[in-house]
Copies of this chain bind each other. A is one copy, B any other.
Amino acid sequence: MLTSPSDPIVFQRRESEARSYCRGFDAVFAKAAGSELIDADGNRYIDFLAGCSSLNYGHNDPDMKTALIDHIAGDGIAHGLDLHTDTKARFLAALETHILEPREMDHKVMFTGPTGANAVEAAMKLARKVTGRTNVISFTNGFHGVTMGALAATGNKYHRGGAGMTLNGVTRMPFDGYLGADFDTSTLLEKMLSDPSSGVDAPAAIILETVQGEGGLNAARPEWIRKVAALAKEHGALLIIDDIQAGCGRAGDFFSFDGMGITPDIITMAKSISGFGLPMALMLVRPEHDIFGPAEHNGTFRGNTHAFVTARIAIEKFWADDNFRDQLAEKERMIVAALAAIAEMVPGATLKGRGLMRGVDVGSGELASEICSRAYQEGLVIETSGPKDEVVKILAPITTPDTLLRKGLNLLLNAVYDSSVNIKIAAE
């Protein structure tokens, strides 16, 4: 229970104006389990935000929780730098056994600082070092983090404006579908890369999300991704798949590119990789590109050993066989059906996304915000995305039980219904 000195007023008094989610979801949260958040007054909320896809397996998964408590209770290492620990070895072994080997991936694992941005920074630096080139190609509406290197690859104007200076070293190309279904944007990339007078310098890397989480749930077609992968190879650029948000099951399989027939040179992972929401990030890199010297890219917290504990459990529990993946398909169908119903209610609305990162573009940021706000009043935490926040985005834990998922979707449907009514009235 909250008493002084943990009065929420302390946030106004001492926390930076940069705080954000707490403005839309103003409860003081105290507990969480599975797909539910509980505030200090005991109110329960269904969580369709899931730490922006950092909690794909829900809050406080009981197996991870037990293992983590055991680890701490037994004086397991908390902070391990990049020393060898048995905990890290077991995580690596699990990753190798259940994820990499079945996919015939020979990638090395580089533990960067435990944030997605850091993994992206490491990936971009490494690609430049490997190729001796500077230019990195990224795409419209891409989001890769807000530290200076990653921010250069991020499209969002608001975040770019935070830099306070010019961001260099990145060329922007239109993502799949950017100019509508009739124009294959990879033709422009192809022409520019092969034209010695295009002004697009030979790239060190092409970086992309297969589904743009922050950019509005734009899902690239596999054939477009394969084309981009082929262009990267042809032009000596490394292909970096930023799987920070779309990975770890979110798009329907462990990697968002599984089954597409591509082998990225580098894959960045963060968010749900720890399984428990703990800070952890890594970069998978093909052995021939694994050329950073010892600590050439480093970071104090690259050995978050608590996260290694839970990350191992997450892999062993969910990815040791195909059962979990197969269940995801059913949840996907439920979500799509609900979103289709929403789209029917909002004229011009379109479905977005892939796998379990799905949403509906309702045409305006105002409407999307109203929907989320109404949903929150009824106990559903859900957010918008997209360049103008016009997409209502479902990022429910992919472990959400069907009944809870259905309940959350119903809350959302109601919120849309109420919002649509108001908008129509206002419009008349």
Contacts and interface: CB of A to CB of B under 8 A. Distances in A.
Interface string A1-32: 01011111011011111111111011111111
B126 A292 contact: no
A227 interface: no
Interface string A186-218: 011001100111111110100000000001100
B85 A29 contact: yes
A170 B172 CA distance: 11
A134 B298 contact: no
Contacts of A100: 14
Contacts of A141: 195, 197-199
Given A72-B72, A155-B197, 17 more contacts: A8-B84, A8-B89, A15-B111, A17-B294, A38-B75, A54-B300, A127-B164, A129-B163, A148-B149, A149-B149, A155-B198, A156-B196, A164-B204, A168-B169, A179-B188, A198-B387, A270-B301
Given A15-B109, A25-B83, A388-B196, A164 B128 contact: yes
B140 A10 contact: no
Contact of A52 (B20, B76, B300): B300
A306 to B, nearest CB: 7
A276 B27 CA distance: 28
B198 A20 contact: no
Interface string A375-392: 000000000001110000
B8 A195 contact: no
Nearest to A170: B199
A172 B200 contact: yes
A30 to B, nearest CB: 5
B90 A166 contact: no
Interface in A281-333: 283, 285, 290-301, 304, 306
